[in-house]
């Protein structure tokens, strides 16, 4: 595989590029977010993953605008809350996120979870497509969708093309975000995405630090002279995912970015194929279409 570094990027279906390592701010208090995002930029991160539900879009935006890094070099993600999902609430949330962050555009907007029923999911997606056409959002995606939700979205995209005047008018999926790690590798969802060149982002890539002493990780950490955390993040990168580690500790922020001076072998990767399905967070992928 080609050598990776902290500035490496992947091309999205939208035509834009996404940095392969993101800095997650889930559960980061608003009062701390500006400081830790600034630290992440100092370390070399160029990608911040927020959400309306995290209530820290404003300090993230402040850190981006205060940074010496040009705005166009920083990738900022937010998400539409699943509560009361609809066309109108999505349109409203895009405006709110732009206002909160203070940014002229949002690089990636995701639907946070597939709740609200089919009609409301379609309406929310339509609102995102309109926001993209208006230049408010650059790339679109979803989070926590199961394969059945993804299949439904493809149907909605085709319907919107017919309703809105032709090919491309239904929008295009650039990114999907899921809990992804060796104990929840989601091969069905990953395969669905790969066939369509959709980038899969990995939240909880460190399994919420519950696997540091796992017998699968310890030999690899010793072999490569790295921490179990770094083994997990390198696994994610080599699987082609975009991991989103989160930490408010400066040392950990640095550790989570120190991933580019070693490479896992094919045997190493194979040893981490657990075949298990063990979420450490919520799992909306299993929700019914009517939920």
Is residue 87 flagged as an active site residue?
no
E strand or H helix at 161: helix 147-164
- Per the DSSP assignment, residues forming a β-bridge with 142 are 111, 176
Query: Cα 179–144–44 angle (5° rounding)?
Result: 50
DSSP E strand boundaries for the chain? 9-11, 17-19, 23-24, 47-49, 75-80, 106-111, 137-143, 175-179, 199-203, 242-243
* DSSP symbols for 210-264: T-TT-TTTHHHHHHHT--HHHHHHHHHHHTT-EE----S-HHHHHHTT--SS---
Is residue 149 flagged as an active site residue?
no
Name, in order, each residue with C-beta under 8 angstroms of 249's C-beta and a sequence gap of 6 or more. none
Residue of 23, 45, 47, 54 with catalytic role:
54
Task: At 230, give phi and psi (nearest 5°).
Answer: -70, -35
Residue of 23, 45, 47, 112 with catalytic role:
112
Residues 59 and 23: their CA atoms lie apart, in Å, by 14
C-alpha dihedral, 167 to 82 to 150 to 127, nearest 10°? 0
**Residues belonging to the active site:** 54, 112
């Amino acid at each position: 595989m080609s050598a990776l570094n902290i500035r490496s990027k992947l091309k999205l279906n939208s035509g834009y590029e996404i940095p392969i390592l993101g800095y997650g701010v889930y559960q980061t208090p608003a009062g701390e977010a500006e400081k830790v995002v600034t630290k992440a930029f100092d370390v070399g991160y160029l990608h911040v993953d927020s959400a309306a539900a995290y209530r820290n879009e404003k300090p993230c935006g402040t850190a981006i605008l205060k940074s010496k890094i040009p705005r166009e070099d920083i990738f900022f993600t937010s998400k539409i809350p699943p509560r009361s999902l609809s066309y109108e609430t999505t349109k409203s949330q895009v405006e709110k996120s732009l206002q909160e962050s203070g940014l002229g555009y949002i690089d990636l907007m995701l639907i946070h979870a597939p709740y609200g029923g089919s009609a409301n999911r379609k309406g929310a997606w339509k609102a995102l497509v309109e926001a993209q056409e208006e230049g408010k959002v650059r790339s679109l995606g979803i989070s926590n969708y199961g394969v059945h939700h993804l299949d439904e979205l493809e149907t909605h995209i085709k319907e919107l093309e017919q309703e809105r005047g032709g090919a491309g008018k239904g929008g295009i999926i650039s990114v999907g975000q899921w809990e992804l790690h060796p104990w929840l590798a989601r091969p069905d969802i990953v395969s669905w995405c790969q066939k369509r060149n959709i980038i899969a982002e990995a939240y909880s890539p460190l399994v919420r630090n519950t696997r540091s002493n796992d017998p699968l990780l310890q030999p690899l950490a010793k072999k490569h002279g790295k921490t179990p955390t770094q083994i997990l993040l390198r696994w994610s990168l080599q699987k082609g995912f975009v991991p989103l580690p989160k930490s408010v500790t400066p040392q950990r922020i640095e550790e989570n970015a120190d991933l580019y001076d070693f490479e896992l072998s094919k045997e190493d990767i194979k040893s981490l194929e657990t075949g298990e399905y063990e979420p450490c967070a919520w799992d909306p992928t299993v929700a019914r279409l009517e939920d």
